[in-house]
Structure 1
């Protein structure tokens, strides 16, 4: 099963792209955080950044939104590669199936 649930803040404003076939995609970065106890029992915090992609109707929802928007996201993990300047680059991102603006 490939299922991802995240709650976090948008840290790069969504950018909307229109593909040659007319489909639209929104790309943005979501920052999540977690707390944990270190070896001495002190509470610490860790932050993670996740690349996100949203298709279709979600592009209309995200259009015009900016940074610091808090979202709950449900989606799936996608891994892909592309070639730029002769170099192969691998990317993992979350493809949004559903989102809620919190």
Structure 2
């Protein structure tokens, strides 16, 4: 039986950095920023604990001018996208990082 696969991420959080913009060969532009999210959970003793997570985010296409105009540290966002893992070589060692690539974005 073939299993349907899915790579889908939904996050609501705050921009923990102002976006940076990069122009690639061929004129394509991308925006990169960090998004922080908070979550609460109960520990083994029943106490409420809070945790904060930071996510690397990349935006392409129509979202670049939106983030140029409205993106700022502290801005609340809802994003929908997919996880992307990228690999590169640094000092002869293979490195990797995972980021969220935006499909849709709502400024809150």
TM-score scaled to structure 1, two decimals?
0.95
Q: Which consecutive residues of structure 1, in runs of 5 or more, have no partner in the other structure?
A: none
3-state SS, counterpart of residue 17 of structure 2: strand
Q: Which consecutive residues of structure 2, in runs of 5 or more, have no partner in the other structure?
A: 1-5
TM-score scaled to structure 2, two decimals?
0.90
3-state SS, counterpart of residue 46 of structure 1: strand
Q: Give the superposition deviation at 1:50.
A: 0.5
Q: Give the superposition deviation at 1:16.
A: 0.8
Question: Which stretches of structure 1, 4 residues or longer, exceed 6 Å deviation after superposition?
Answer: none
Higher strand proportion: 1
- Other-structure match for 2:87: 81
- Other-structure match for 2:3: none
Q: Give the superposition deviation at 1:94.
A: 0.4
